[in-house]
């Protein structure tokens, strides 16, 4: 009986320690990537500002374009598909001449805020810098906060892949 109490005390102590430790981990993880693209502002914004065009360059949309349903609203566009038994939704809600804002939602998870900004490159008129920022929100749960440590390792390469695919597509189809 004494050994069971000791084991229970250690388990509760570890759980409390991990919970307190997780409170010091940020609840937002920011991933940001950029790429230089040689194309006009209009051409770039036409590709990133219309979900129907994402099938040309965005890896998930390229792979599953037949499964993705795109709904056009008056102020937004939404793409919905099933991934691993959960619905995933991309909601493009803010489009300007130089930026796109959208959220990525998956059932049971918090939204991921995204923004793609088109910036000029000082030394070239034909070259543009495209900056993609993704903000992942985490709940206070210790296991979610601890898994958030690896979020950048997953999100960063995905952003790189998308931007490189867009760059290749725009260079092949001027």
50: domain CATH number?
3.30.530.20
Residue 102 placed within a domain: yes
Number of domains in the chain: 1
Query: Per-residue confidence at 65, pLDDT binned at 50, 70, 90?
Result: low
Q: How many CB atoms lie within 10 A of CB 115?
A: 15
pTM listed for this prediction: 0.80
Lowest mean per-residue pLDDT among 15-24, 32-41, 156-165:
15-24
Residue 150 placed within a domain: yes
pLDDT at 138 over 70: yes
Structural domain containing residue 142: 27-172
Mean of the pLDDT values across residues 92-98?
91
């Amino acid at each position: 009986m004494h050994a069971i109490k000791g084991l229970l005390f250690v388990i509760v102590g570890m759980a409390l320690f991990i919970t307190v430790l997780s409170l010091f981990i940020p609840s937002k993880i920011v991933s940001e990537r950029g790429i230089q693209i040689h194309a006009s502002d209009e051409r770039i914004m036409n590709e990133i500002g219309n979900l129907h065009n994402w099938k040309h360059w965005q890896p998930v949309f390229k792979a599953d374009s037949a499964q993705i349903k795109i709904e056009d609203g008056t102020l937004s566009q939404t793409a919905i598909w099933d991934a691993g038994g959960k619905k995933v939704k991309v909601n493009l809600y803010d489009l300007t001449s130089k930026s796109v804002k959208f959220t990525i939602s998956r059932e049971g998870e918090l939204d991921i805020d995204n923004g793609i900004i088109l910036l000029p490159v000082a030394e070239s008129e034909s070259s543009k810098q495209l900056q993609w920022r993704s903000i992942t929100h985490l709940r206070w749960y210790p296991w979610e906060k601890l898994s958030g440590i690896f979020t950048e390792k997953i999100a960063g390469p995905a952003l790189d892949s998308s931007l490189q695919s867009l760059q290749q597509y725009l260079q092949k189809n001027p």
